[in-house]
């Protein structure tokens, strides 16, 4: 039986054990169409990573070359809600952002996106594939402290909600190598998963980060 899949990046805790991180509210540009590797057209969903662009708009992050720290593709935060989306002529909260939503110059109807900045937080994400090199607890435990990348593996490719589906790649490197993430632990309920299959949860922090607009809650800096 396949392992259950929990979507995207899930917040586990503040790295310093402090309070729940603050939620930052931004917006998508009118007509924004998420266009990501492996998912040419998709909606934006809770658990997707976003970057902040000029004029303060958000877009989904595009995974880049694993060996390059691309400043344009650093992660600002993870989507946790859509409090306002224009749907069928009215604005309301929605579980996801329908690609291409147009609100024009009517800022009272603009798409609002709630985001938790990744800086200072520990996240959980599922593995995308399987590997004979990682099918025991000892092998997974050995990569704690290593760095890794993530990718999109699109699911629900048809309407109503095609998803980009960010997942962890099973390719790890020494901590001095440039990669988007660092593995810091085994995921919740790790012992209950079939380690020979995909969707094994691991705990990660982000290495390549856009600075958040406030001091991280609970930090000592």
Ramachandran sector of residue 105 (left: φ over 0; alpha: ψ -120 to 50; beta: rest): alpha
- What's the start-to-end Cα distance of the chain, in Å? 46
Could you read off the pLDDT tens digit of each residue along the chain, which spans 221 residues? 899 999 999 999 886 666 677 889 999 999 999 977 655 689 999 999 999 998 889 999 988 655 567 777 889 999 999 999 999 999 999 999 999 999 999 999 999 999 999 998 999 999 998 888 889 999 999 999 999 999 998 887 666 788 999 999 988 888 778 889 999 999 999 999 999 999 999 999 999 888 765 444 333 33
pLDDT at position 221, please?
Answer: 37
d(CA 161, CA 27): 19
Model's pTM, two decimal places? 0.90
Structurally, how many domains does the chain consist of? Answer: 2
Do 66 and 108 fall within a single domain? yes
In this prediction, residue 51 carries a pLDDT of 93
Final residue of a domain: which of 90, 117, 144? 117
> Is 155 in the same domain as 105?
no
Same domain, 162 and 101: no
Position 218 in a domain: no
| Residue pointed to by tokens 């993430």 | 181
- What's the rounded Cα separation, in Å, for the pair 52 and 55? 9
Same domain, 126 and 108: no
pLDDT of residue 170: 86
Instruction: Answer yes or no: is 99 within a domain.
Output: yes
Place of tokens 């007509």: 31
Q: Are the CB atoms for 57 and 28 separated by under 8 Å?
A: yes
Strand, coil or helix: 185:
strand
* DSSP type of residue 153: -
What integer pLDDT is reported at residue 219 of this predicted model? 37
Q: How far apart are CA 198 and CA 128, in angstroms?
A: 6
Q: Classify residue 120 by its DSSP letter.
A: T
pLDDT at 56: 85
Give the range of the structural domain holding residue 189, as residue numbers without chain letter.
Answer: 121-206
Looking at the structure, tell me whether residues 71 and 41 fall in a common domain. Answer: yes
Q: Which of 117, 134, 153 is the last residue of a domain?
A: 117
């Amino acid at each position: 039986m396949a392992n259950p899949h929990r979507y995207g990046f899930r917040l586990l805790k503040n790295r310093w054990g402090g309070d729940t991180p603050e939620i930052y509210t931004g917006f998508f540009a009118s007509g924004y169409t998420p266009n990501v590797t492996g998912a040419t057209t998709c909606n934006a969903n809770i658990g997707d990573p976003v970057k902040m662009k000029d004029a303060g708009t958000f877009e989904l992050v595009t995974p880049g070359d694993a060996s390059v720290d691309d400043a344009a593709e650093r992660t600002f935060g993870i989507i946790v809600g859509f409090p306002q989306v224009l749907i069928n002529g009215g604005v309301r909260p929605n579980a996801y952002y329908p690609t291409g939503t147009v609100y024009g110059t009517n800022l009272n109807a603009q798409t609002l996106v709630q985001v938790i900045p990744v800086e200072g937080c520990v996240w959980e994400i599922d593995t995308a594939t399987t590997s004979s090199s990682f099918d025991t607890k000892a092998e997974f435990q050995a990569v704690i402290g290593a760095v890794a990348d993530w990718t999109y593996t699109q699911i629900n490719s048809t309407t109503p909600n095609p998803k980009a589906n960010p997942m962890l790649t099973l390719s790890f490197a020494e901590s001095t190598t440039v990669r988007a993430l660092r593995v810091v632990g085994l995921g919740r309920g790790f012992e209950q998963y079939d380690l020979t299959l995909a969707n094994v949860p691991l705990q990660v922090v982000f290495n390549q980060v856009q600075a958040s607009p406030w001091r991280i809650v609970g930090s000592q800096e």
